[in-house]
């Protein structure tokens, strides 16, 4: 039987063998929710890069560019890391270069996997349906916050484990803990995450609307996957 | 206000600043439950060491010695890593040298803290009472399993956070997740842990009795603390 596992932060990724796994990277607030929304709005591809400088270099070559550090957008970029900023005509068929505090690092760290995909509550159903049909083990990689686990990514991991638990075997306690946390939270996710450290951080930035949006399930049938250095919609 | 935080595995300890914290090391199945039991039965001191070889060297010098690897006891040691093996007369005032798969490493990694203490459900109340009166932040360090988080240590962390949450501020999501996991589990801890990876591992070794014992709360008023290279009862 295929296995499903959860890695609560990229700092623990070296403990997992991902050569025969599909890695699903998640950064709910807000990198992977933005990416899902971008593809749902017709973006052609997204290039994740590690640094602000690389991102600026792409922008100078004519690409659209998005950057985030510590929940805020540095000056001069085309998107403000709110998923709503991707609901505009200019994204159609565009290539966007993106760097974020946690999410893009998680993607680049996973490159030795069979496939690297991007997950969020917004494309949970599409992702679950796709993964059920594949022959590979699944590792859900939570981007976390500066190396530490966070609540919202763990809850997403639990949601995906719940959707896949009939077809996959749960091997380790991280997956079990994420599943139970989600089962305990799912009837009112918004209240459940309200006291998390990152939500408190985001609320200080005034983006409650983003938070509610990013917790909606199954909004889009998109499957972002890493091909070479760019994410595309499968 | 003092803060309380949880580190889900020693692999993440470098992300925490412990210079002004009391670190509580926990390895419920079974290292720190054994240590608590040993002190409750009059052990004088416990020397945690990293390797089997070091442990054998101490034994050859006349110390009592306990070793565990992958849940099993190698041949030739005085205790079998069951807490019940410490309920004997010979432990009174003795010095015991101990090495285990996960617990002793977590202790030795924490040496730069203000104090390193040992926690288990068995001495939860004594520990909580002591920590409330101190001026330091608290970090609960889960020993986990070979670098990965585990369910039972996380549940203990949640239990201690619950006892301390009026006096300490919860800063990060790991503490919040541990707290909620415990609150969800506490009415029937034994069933809740039954599906964990380590309990399945232990059940194959036939030690259900140890598991039930290690989940009992507030059995002993002991406070094991690291002094130099040895744990003593405060």
Among candidates B8, B173, B184 on the partner chain, residue whose Cβ is nearest the Cβ of A184: B184
Complete edge-to-edge strand list for the sheet that includes strand A45-48: A64-67, A95-99, A45-48, A230-233, A224-227, A115-119, A21-26, A137-142, A2-7, A168-170
Smallest CA–CA distance from A8 into chain B, residue: B149
Q: Per-residue pLDDT averaged across A65-84, rounded?
A: 87
Nearest to A27 by CA among A17, A37, A19, A15: A37
Termini Cα distance of chain B: 25
In the prediction, which pLDDT does A105 show? 86
What is the per-residue pLDDT across A156-176, written as a single tens digit (0 to 9) for each? 999 999 999 999 999 899 999
Secondary structure of chain A: what % helix, strand, coil (to 5)?
A: 45, 20, 35
Distance from CA of B196 to the nearest CA of A (A): 6
Among candidates A11, A171, A176 on the partner chain, residue whose Cβ is nearest the Cβ of B151: A176
Nearest to B208 by CA among B187, B191, B220: B191
Distance from CA of B41 to the nearest CA of A (A): 32
- Name, in order, each residue with C-beta under 8 angstroms of A211's C-beta and a sequence gap of 6 or more: A29, A190, A193, A199, A202, A203
Contacts of residue A15 in chain B, CB cutoff 8 Å? 11, 146-148
Contacts of residue B181 in chain A, CB cutoff 8 Å? 177, 180-181
In the prediction, which pLDDT does B206 show? 67
CB–CB contacts below 8 A, A to B: 72
Contacts of residue A198 in chain B, CB cutoff 8 Å? 173
Asked if residue A200 has pLDDT above 90, the reply is: no
Contacts of residue A146 in chain B, CB cutoff 8 Å? 15
Contacts of residue B8 in chain A, CB cutoff 8 Å? 8, 149
Write down the mean pLDDT value for chain A: 93
Query: How many of the other CB atoms lie within 10 Å of CB of A83?
Result: 25
Distance from CA of B176 to the nearest CA of A (A): 7
Contacts of residue B173 in chain A, CB cutoff 8 Å? 145, 148-151, 154, 196-198
Asked if residue A130 has pLDDT above 80, the reply is: yes
Asked if residue B217 has pLDDT above 70, the reply is: yes
- Name, in order, each residue with C-beta under 8 angstroms of B220's C-beta and a sequence gap of 6 or more: B36, B37, B39, B40, B122, B123, B126
Q: Are B148 and A173 within 8 A, CB to CB?
A: yes
Query: How many of the other CB atoms lie within 10 Å of CB of B19?
Result: 9
A118: phi > 0 → left, psi -120 to 50 → alpha, else beta; which? beta
Residue A173 corresponds to which tokens in the numbers above?
């306690």
Q: Are B12 and A15 within 8 A, CB to CB?
A: no
Contact B96, B62 (CB under 8 A): no
What is the per-residue pLDDT across B144-203, written as a single tens digit (0 to 9) for each? 988 999 999 999 999 999 999 999 999 899 999 999 999 999 999 998 988 777 677 767
Distance from CA of B197 to the nearest CA of A (A): 6
Q: Which residues of A touch B (CB under 8 A)?
A: 8-9, 11-12, 15, 145-151, 154, 171-174, 176-177, 180-181, 184, 195-198
Complex ipTM: 0.93
Separation between Cα atoms, residue B72 and residue A99, nearest integer Å? 46
Residue A132 burial by Cβ neighbours in a 10 Å radius (0-12, 13-18, 19+):
middle
Q: Which residues of B touch A (CB under 8 A)?
A: 8-9, 11-12, 15, 145-151, 154, 171-174, 176-177, 180-181, 184, 195-198
Asked if residue A206 has pLDDT above 80, the reply is: no
Contact A6, A150 (CB under 8 A): no
In the prediction, which pLDDT does B166 show? 96
Q: Which parts of A41-188 fold into alpha helices (H)?
A: 52-60, 103-109, 124-132, 151-164, 173-185
What Cα–Cα distance (Å) separates residue B152 from each residue in A57, A145, A201, A219, B25? 48, 24, 30, 36, 13
The least confident of A70-84, A94-108, B157-171 is: A70-84
Contacts of residue B154 in chain A, CB cutoff 8 Å? 173, 177
Q: How many residues does chain A have?
A: 234
Residue A15 burial by Cβ neighbours in a 10 Å radius (0-12, 13-18, 19+):
middle
Asked if residue A128 has pLDDT above 90, the reply is: yes
Q: How many residues does chain B have?
A: 234
Q: Which CATH class is domain B2-223?
A: alpha beta
What H or E segment, with its residue span, contains residue A99? strand A95-99
Q: Are A154 and B171 within 8 A, CB to CB?
A: no
Separation between Cα atoms, residue B185 and residue B207, nearest integer Å? 21
Contact B153, B144 (CB under 8 A): yes
Fold of A2-233: putative 2-phosphosulfolactate phosphatase (3.90.1560)
Cβ-count burial A177-215 (b if 16+ within 10 Å, e if not): bbbbbbebbeeebeebbeebbbbeebeeeebeebbebbb
User: Which is higher by pLDDT, A175 or A75?
Assistant: A175
Residue A122: HSE in the Cβ half-sphere, 13 Å Cα cutoff: 28
Contact A216, A122 (CB under 8 A): yes
Residues of chain B with pLDDT > 90: what percent? 81
Using pLDDT thresholds of 50, 70 and 90, give the confidence band for residue A78. Answer: very high
In the prediction, which pLDDT does B5 show? 98
Distance from CA of B182 to the nearest CA of A (A): 10
């Amino acid at each position: 039987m295929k296995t499903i596992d959860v890695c609560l932060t990229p700092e623990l990724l070296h403990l997992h063998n991902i050569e025969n796994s599909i890695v699903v990277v998640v950064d709910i607030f807000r990198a992977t929710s933005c990416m899902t929304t971008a593809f749902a709005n017709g973006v052609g591809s997204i290039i994740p890069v590690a640094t602000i400088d690389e991102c600026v270099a792409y922008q100078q070559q004519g690409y659209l560019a998005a950057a985030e550090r510590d929940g805020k957008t540095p000056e001069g970029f085309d998107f403000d890391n709110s998923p709503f900023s991707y609901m505009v005509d200019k994204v159609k068929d565009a290539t966007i270069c993106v760097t974020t505090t946690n999410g893009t690092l998680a993607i680049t760290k996973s490159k030795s996997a069979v496939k690297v995909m991007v997950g969020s509550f917004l494309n949970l159903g599409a992702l679950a349906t796709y993964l059920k049909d594949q022959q590979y083990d699944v590792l859900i990689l939570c981007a976390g916050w500066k190396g530490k686990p966070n609540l919202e990514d763990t809850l997403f991991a639990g949601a995906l484990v719940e959707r896949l638990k009939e077809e996959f075997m749960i091997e380790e306690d991280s997956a079990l803990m994420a599943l139970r946390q989600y089962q305990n939270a799912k009837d009112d996710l918004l209240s459940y995450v309200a006291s998390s450290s990152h939500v408190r951080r985001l609320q200080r930035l005034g983006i409650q609307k983003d938070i509610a949006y990013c917790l909606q399930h199954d909004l889009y049938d998109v499957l972002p996957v890493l091909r070479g250095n760019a994410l595309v919609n499968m």
